[in-house]
Structures are given as C-alpha cells and as structure tokens.
C-alpha cells in the first residue's frame, strides 16, 4: 500500500518565505529599471525642449532689425508663453516651459511640468539678440546652494529643470502643486534667482539633503553660434 504524503504547514511556510524572498529580489531590480527608464526619458524630453527653444529663436524675428528672441516662460499653467503685449517683454523670466507654444512634450516622465528660466533681454521681442548682444545678469549653474561662484557652468541664457522622481516643487499635468522641496539644493532651483543647482542625486538622509532634479541649459556663446551662425542676418 502506497502512502501519499502532503506538505506540512511548516514546509508550506518555508516555501512561502522563499517565494517571497525571490519575488522581493526581483521586484527591486525591476523598480530600479523603471526608474532608470523614466530618467532617460526625461533627459530626452529636456533635450527636445531645448531644441524646440532654439528652433523658436531661429524663426522669430525681433522688432529690432536683424535680431532674434527666445520664448517667455508660461506663468499661468496653460502651456503658452506669457508676454506683455504692450512692451513685448516677458511677464516673468521664471515659470514653466511653454509646451503649447513650442509644440513639445507637456510633462516629464513622472507627469510633472518642466521649469523654464531665461534671462529677460534675450526673450524681449522689442530688442532681441544677435551675436553682438552682451549677457547681462546671466544665469549660473552650481553644484551646491552655498557656492560662492559657479563651479558647473556660467554665462547661461536659459535653463530647463525637471523636479525628478520626487516631484517636489513641481505642478502636475492637472495643475496641482506638489509638496515644497526639503533639501536646500532643490529649494535653490525654486527661488527664481540667477543660481541653479546641478549635481548627482542624494537621499533625504544625506548631509546635503535630498536632491533628484534633472536639468539642461544653454550658454550665451552656444546660443549665438546656433541661432546666429556666421553669414546670418543676426551675425553682423
């Protein structure tokens, strides 16, 4: 007579523990892969936004002869640039990417709007810029909010920022404002001054605070070289 033996409760418990460990081990790498894909996607979105801004400048003639101008930020959340129609200057030099005006993606990979800041003279339709236009109060890129002088990049005309995986400081596609940043470097990217931070990500328990912003920028020299190459009407 053959005796059929089943699993005991202890054996089943051991099997469940092993399966749980295996699933957990697989889930963590999968989560990391998804996050890496979103970061790569957002970097591509930033790159495409920068190219769209350059395309805008190449095709928009200023009121001053032989000059070009950059788009203004979106300050109302409707995706359109906000420009004072009387003066032709930007309502603000700091806001959100005017994705409707530019025809770009409306959000990063986490569903949040991209921040866009520009130096006012280069976005002024009345005056515009050419290769001879001097940079006045350019933006600066630092690796920390305490830097005394820019140690990443200087003489920047515009900067684009994704608030990263945590999204702190952003507004989402529904127009809702997310929680304010807790780290001092992420806060620096939200205070609308001339200094912006670009560095490696850190967790909330890091000495320097949490940081996961992604950004891209354009220097004045590179902008002029791309929009006003030698022989163009804005390169006297």
The structural domains of the chain, with segments of one domain joined by +, span 11-227
Q: What is the chain's percent helix, strand, coil content, to nearest 5?
A: 30, 20, 50
The DSSP symbol for 145 reads: T
What 3-state class would DSSP assign to 221?
A: helix
List the alpha helices (DSSP H) in the chain: 9-59, 99-102, 184-188, 220-227
Judge whether 117 and 158 are in contact, CB under 8 Å.
yes
Burial class (CB in 10 A: 0-12, 13-18, 19+), 222: middle
Spatial CB neighbours of 163, under 8 Å, sequence gap ≥ 6: 108, 112, 115, 169, 170, 178, 181, 186, 189, 212, 213
Judge whether 165 and 212 are in contact, CB under 8 Å.
yes
What 3-state class would DSSP assign to 156?
A: strand
- Identify which of 104, 98, 82, 113 has the alpha carbon closest to the alpha carbon of residue 178: 113
Judge whether 159 and 95 are in contact, CB under 8 Å.
no
From first to last of its 236 residues, the chain has per-residue pLDDT tens of 455 555 576 767 777 777 676 666 555 577 788 899 999 999 999 999 999 999 999 999 999 999 999 999 999 999 999 999 999 999 999 999 999 999 999 999 999 999 999 999 999 999 999 999 999 999 999 999 999 899 999 999 999 999 999 999 999 998 899 999 989 999 999 999 999 999 999 999 999 999 999 999 999 999 999 999 999 999 97
């Amino acid at each position: 007579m053959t005796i059929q033996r089943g699993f005991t409760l202890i054996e089943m418990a051991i099997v469940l523990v092993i399966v749980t460990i295996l699933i957990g081990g697989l889930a963590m790498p999968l989560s990391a892969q998804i996050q890496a894909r979103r970061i790569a996607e957002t970097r591509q979105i930033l790159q495409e936004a920068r190219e769209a801004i350059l395309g805008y400048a190449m095709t928009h003639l200023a009121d001053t002869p032989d000059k070009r101008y950059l788009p203004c930020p979106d300050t109302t959340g409707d995706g359109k640039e906000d420009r004072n129609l009387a003066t032709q200057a930007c309502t603000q030099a700091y806001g959100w990417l005017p994705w409707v005006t530019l025809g770009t993606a409306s959000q990063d990979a986490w569903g949040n709007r991209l921040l866009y800041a520009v130096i006012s003279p280069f976005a002024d339709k009345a005056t515009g810029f050419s290769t001879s236009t001097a940079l006045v109060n350019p933006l600066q890129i630092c690796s920390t909010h305490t830097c005394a002088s820019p140690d990443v990049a200087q003489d920047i005309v515009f900067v684009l920022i994704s608030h990263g995986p945590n999204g702190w400081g952003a507004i989402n596609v529904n127009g809702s404002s997310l929680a304010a940043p807790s780290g001092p470097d992420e806060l620096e990217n939200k205070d609308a001054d001339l200094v912006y931070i670009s560095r490696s990500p850190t967790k909330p328990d890091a000495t320097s605070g949490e940081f996961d912003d992604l950004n891209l920028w354009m220097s004045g020299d590179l902008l002029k070289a791309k929009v006003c190459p030698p022989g163009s009407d804005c390169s006297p």
